[in-house]
Structure 1
Amino acid sequence: MDVPFHWQLAKLLISIGVVLGLSVIAERVSTRVAGLLSGYPLGTAIALFFIGLELSPQFAADSAVHTLAGFTATLALGGGYLLAARGDGLKGVLTGTAGGLVAWLAASSLLTQLDLNRISGTLITLVAIALFTWLYRAVPDIKASPKGGFSWPALALRAGLAAAIIFLITGLAHAVPSAWAGVMAAFPVTMYPFLVILHLTQGTAPVATVIKHYPAGLGSLLCYALVVSLTYATMGLWQGTLLGFVAATLWLLGWMRLQQWWAARRHRRRQQRAS
């Protein structure tokens, strides 16, 4: 199927805007919040929507079932990047990328061989979230410092990486089964370019913070993919996407409220011990 030019342009502009937004949050607000928002259905939503637009809503819905488990491969990518990125600058980015992609491909190859449904796909990722959260428990929280991230080279890098990944995923979806299309849709389209930019400008410490908090944000992605898998074929792309974002937002707001309650509870306990 020939993809209309205005669809391609939309993919480009949306991808650029999302990556820029995450970079601003990391530099102006907090890498912790940026890590949580990296788990919001941004890149996945773009990929699944355009897969449904270019192929069919049913194909996108079938793909979304495998996206649920595909987030485990994304977690593996983060872990591989963190292990392999031994150093700052371009060398650290390249070694981190190589390690992350190897981990992602290994996990993806295994997941696409499984006969998954919505329940099993979700359970696989929930177990992976618990495992990686435990593994990252000792990683310190480091805030990124403002360094003028809106230079033209940074803009070009963000645009190029985000657009290339989106175009690659949606392009390959025309030639692969729905299982692979779904796993690819779980690829961190927005987080990976964000990690590269942050790594080049700030070093490995804030990158580790983003990766540490990424698993906590995956709940909203799971909600989104689950709703999309149920609604795309019956309600259409626009309504399914809207309902997916509603579910993801409610989960994220609830999760942040739970974290605030837990932090306040721990603070009260420390005060009681001190007194």
Structure 2
Amino acid sequence: MIEFLFFIKLIVAIGLVIGLSLLAENVSPKVAGILSGYPTGSAITLFFFGLEVTPEYAAESAVYNMIGLSAALTFVYVYYIASKYIKTYTIPLSAVSAILGYFLVVWVLHHIQVNTYLAILIPIAFSFLYIYLFRNIQNITILTKAKLSYKTLFVRAFFAALIIIVITSVPKFVGPTWAGLFSAFPTTLFPLMLIIHISYSTEHVHTVIKNVPIGMFSLIIYSLTISIVYPLYGIYWGTLMSYGAATAYLLIYTKIKKTIEKQKGLPLRK
């Protein structure tokens, strides 16, 4: 059973990271940034919390996952600031700075007495804050794609596989509070950012970062739904219902965005 779960986590991680990186290259980093906020890494983590522990444990962790999304948003903001101003060893120093920023916010959040309402309001406030702070970042597309090879695909998969396996092992050692906070770690977004930054440029990874807060609302909706439906319907139906709610948000957002741009006479952007 343990070996089977390991295999599933590895395959899912590979598929998610490769899929998002190919989306960034063939569609746009903007779309990849929005979809990186779609329930991927956190969804996997919460699902395995429910599978390996209990649905109730996963539901409680989902509440802390929501508030932990504030730390995930801070992660991308710190990466953005560091990569903007650090000129030597930019990628490793930006990554380390972002990780430290994430754990600092998680440590602060751990001392807050959380309820469901607060867990909803805090990440929503952070999302709007970072949408505002990222407003001047330009959306740019990838014109010349990097040549893919088996080695490149393996490296892309390795980051996500390693991170997801580590994070989903957390509930064996800590309670649902810390497990929920750590489950918000950007397990898919982080390797995606590294891949885009290494393969292309700082401006391309900034395009991904700019659009993360927009997609993060779908993850807030997902975690909130998980906290309600897992104890009632179990992890399988609960996951399906939660993905339905998160997908509905993205479809509504896309529809509203296209309507606004059409009314303003703007060209529809990818």
Q: What interval of TM-score do these two structures reach, taking the shorter chain for normalisation?
A: over 0.9
Provide the residue aligned with 2:92 in structure 1: 94
Change (3 A) 1:88 1:205: farther
For 1:187 and 1:86, how far apart are their aligned partners in 2?
22
1:47-196 pair list within 5 angstroms: 47-86=45-84, 91-148=89-146, 150-196=148-194
Q: Letter of the 2:38 partner, please give it.
A: Y
SS of 1:267's equivalent?
A: coil
1:145 and 1:202 in contact (8 A); partners too: no
1:84 and 1:95 in contact (8 A); partners too: yes
Provide the residue aligned with 2:32 in structure 1: 34
1:86 offset after TM fit, Å? Answer: 4.5
SS of 2:168's equivalent?
A: helix
Q: TM-score, normalised by structure 2?
A: 0.94
SS of 2:103's equivalent?
A: helix
Change (3 A) 1:57 1:16: same
For 2:231 and 2:163, how far apart are their aligned partners in 1?
25
Comparing 151-160 with 124-133, greater Cα deviation is found at 151-160
Q: Letter of the 2:108 partner, please give it.
A: L
Q: Letter of the 1:67 partner, please give it.
A: N
* CA deviation map 1:141-181 (0-9, x unaligned): 11123424532232122221111111111112211121111
For 2:135 and 2:146, how far apart are their aligned partners in 1?
30
For 2:261 and 2:72, how far apart are their aligned partners in 1?
28
SS of 1:85's equivalent?
A: helix
**Unaligned stretches of 5+ residues in structure 1:** 269-275
1:7 offset after TM fit, Å? Answer: 0.8
Q: Letter of the 2:128 partner, please give it.
A: A
1:54 offset after TM fit, Å? Answer: 1.1
* CA deviation map 1:171-196 (0-9, x unaligned): 12211121111111111111110100
Provide the residue aligned with 1:261 in structure 2: 259
The reply to whether residue 199 of structure 1 matches residue 192 of structure 2 is no
Comparing 77-86 with 238-247, greater Cα deviation is found at 77-86
Q: TM-score, normalised by structure 1?
A: 0.93
Q: Letter of the 1:254 partner, please give it.
A: I
2:33 and 2:212 in contact (8 A); partners too: yes
What root-mean-square deviation, in Å, do the aligned CA atoms of Structure 1 and Structure 2 show? 1.7
For 2:62 and 2:220, how far apart are their aligned partners in 1?
10
Change (3 A) 1:13 1:237: same
For 1:117 and 1:227, how far apart are their aligned partners in 2?
15
For 2:148 and 2:119, how far apart are their aligned partners in 1?
39
Q: Letter of the 2:241 partner, please give it.
A: L
* CA deviation map 1:104-135 (0-9, x unaligned): 01111111211112211110011101110110
Q: Letter of the 2:228 partner, please give it.
A: L
For 1:64 and 1:249, how far apart are their aligned partners in 2?
18
Comparing 91-100 with 242-251, greater Cα deviation is found at 91-100
What count of residue pairs does the alignment treat as equivalent? Answer: 266
For 1:98 and 1:164, how far apart are their aligned partners in 2?
16
1:37 offset after TM fit, Å? Answer: 0.4
Pick the aligned partner of 2:236 from 214, 235, 238: 238
1:89 and 1:203 in contact (8 A); partners too: no
Provide the residue aligned with 1:272 in structure 2: none
1:77 and 1:100 in contact (8 A); partners too: yes
Identity %: 35
Change (3 A) 1:86 1:133: closer
Q: Letter of the 1:161 partner, please give it.
A: F
1:75 and 1:215 in contact (8 A); partners too: yes
2:137 and 2:207 in contact (8 A); partners too: yes
